[in-house]
């Protein structure tokens, strides 16, 4: 199953960063019609004074001939969405640290 991911450092411990990510409204990635299923997941690893937030989007596409032709544009589109999600999480985390 192909996947894309993006990561960013957030100034919160992993548990707090996960709680912030869970507070976001559920967002199903926008996908082209040839993508049959999609699954998004967060992972958090301790990193310095905060956490490394990793957002991964896995997907299945078909038919096979179209999936091969559209692989690069699909990767770009979904990676762009993953990057936006981790950037959003990092900004919210930074604002919570500033306000604390």
Tens place of pLDDT per residue across the chain (100 aa): 899 999 999 999 999 999 999 998 877 788 889 999 999 999 999 999 999 999 999 999 999 999 999 999 999 999 999 999 999 999 999 998 888 7
Q: Domains of the chain by range and CATH?
A: 3-99 (3.30.530.20)
Half-sphere CA count of 54, side-chain side, radius 13 A:
11
Compute the distance between CA of residue 31 and CA of residue 59 in angstroms, rounded to an integer. Answer: 9
CA distances from 78 to 27, 57, 62, 84 (A): 13, 7, 16, 10
Q: What's the confidence (pLDDT) of residue 28?
A: 77
pTM for this prediction:
0.90
Q: What's the confidence (pLDDT) of residue 80?
A: 96
CA distances from 96 to 1, 33, 76 (A): 36, 38, 30
């Amino acid at each position: 199953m192909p996947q894309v991911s993006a990561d960013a450092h957030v100034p919160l411990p992993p548990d707090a960063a996960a709680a912030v990510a869970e507070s976001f409204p559920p967002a199903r990635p926008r996908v082209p019609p040839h993508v049959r299923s999609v699954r998004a997941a967060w992972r958090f690893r301790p990193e310095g004074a905060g956490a490394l937030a990793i957002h991964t989007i896995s997907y299945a596409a078909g038919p096979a001939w179209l999936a091969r032709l559209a692989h690069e544009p699909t990767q770009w589109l979904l990676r762009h969405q993953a990057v936006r999600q981790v950037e959003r999480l990092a900004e919210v985390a930074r604002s919570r640290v500033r306000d604390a």
